[in-house]
Amino acid sequence: MDARASRRLIALAIAAALAAGGATGAVGSPVAQASADLPWKDQVLAVVQPLADRRLSAGDGPGSPFLALGFDALGRASGDERYATAIAQGATPAPARPDGDAICAADGCRADTLLGGPALWTGPSDSDAARATAVALDPPFRRMADTLFDRQALLFRADTATPVEGRFDAHLNARAFVALTRMIDALPTEDPARLEYVAWYREMARPIVRVQGPDGWWRETLGDPAAPIDRSASALYVHGLTWGLNTGMLSFNEGETAALRGWDALRSPDGLAALQSDDEGLGVLLLASAQLAERRW
């Protein structure tokens, strides 16, 4: 079957799946089977573009900064300008940056003061606004890491008040992991601080790969197989690991298996159904998919 015929079959399968309310690119679905003959990039995009297009048809702007980032990444990967147009139509004023001097400057340091705020997640990391934000947030980010990065577990604690006891939150650390990639992308190559972010990123990658479940998912409490699956965190981990492989920050044997196993979990029927149910989930799915579509390994 040639590529044109495959695309025609994919379009028919997508229409049928959407009409039935099903997941369009799940493993074993007609879309996945039809796209198997396409190049890798087209296979990945065939999974998520129908979900993105259905969200675009809703007509309102992104309800999460992660969806805006996901649309931007998908637009770059696919070359489809509709996604950038959707971001522009739903654009809101840039959020005020948090008071950097106040973050982790005294007792009671909390990671979500920085990682949970919108300033860190506004705009692609190669934009002028993101670069300016990275420079402004560099001192408080490093202060937070110096305080909350556990040197034994190589993961972030939530705050200084809660005993760790070997329990680390998946979503918090997923945000921290991807935040490191954004800081590395945004800071000038010659900036000495950038080397610290590279070191933290590479250190975090080791336990993140190690605690992934055999089913490709990460649990809400990292390393606890009895904890519920955290699908949004899993998408962020796949994004972060694939970014490392694409940029050369990680070698193949450091993250390839985990990234591909995670992708299989994301594109499963349960994964797609759960992640497309809200703007943040769809956004992190698009971020992971766009990185995978640009696979350089």
pLDDT at 283: 96
| CA–CA separation, 25 and 267 (whole Å) | 6
pLDDT at 49: 96
| CA–CA separation, 103 and 105 (whole Å) | 5
Burial class (CB in 10 A: 0-12, 13-18, 19+), 79: exposed
pLDDT at 144: 94
pLDDT at 14: 53
pLDDT at 4: 41
State both tokens at 184. Answer: 């590395």
pLDDT at 61: 79
pLDDT at 69: 94
Per-residue pLDDT of the chain (297 residues; tens, 9 = 90+): 554 455 445 545 554 554 555 555 555 555 555 566 789 999 999 999 999 999 999 878 788 999 999 999 999 999 999 887 766 655 555 555 556 667 787 677 899 989 988 888 988 888 888 888 899 999 999 999 999 999 999 999 999 987 777 799 999 999 999 999 999 999 999 999 999 999 999 999 999 999 999 999 999 999 999 999 999 999 999 999 999 999 999 998 999 999 999 999 999 999 999 999 999 999 999 999 999 999 988
| CA–CA separation, 29 and 84 (whole Å) | 29
| CA–CA separation, 35 and 202 (whole Å) | 34
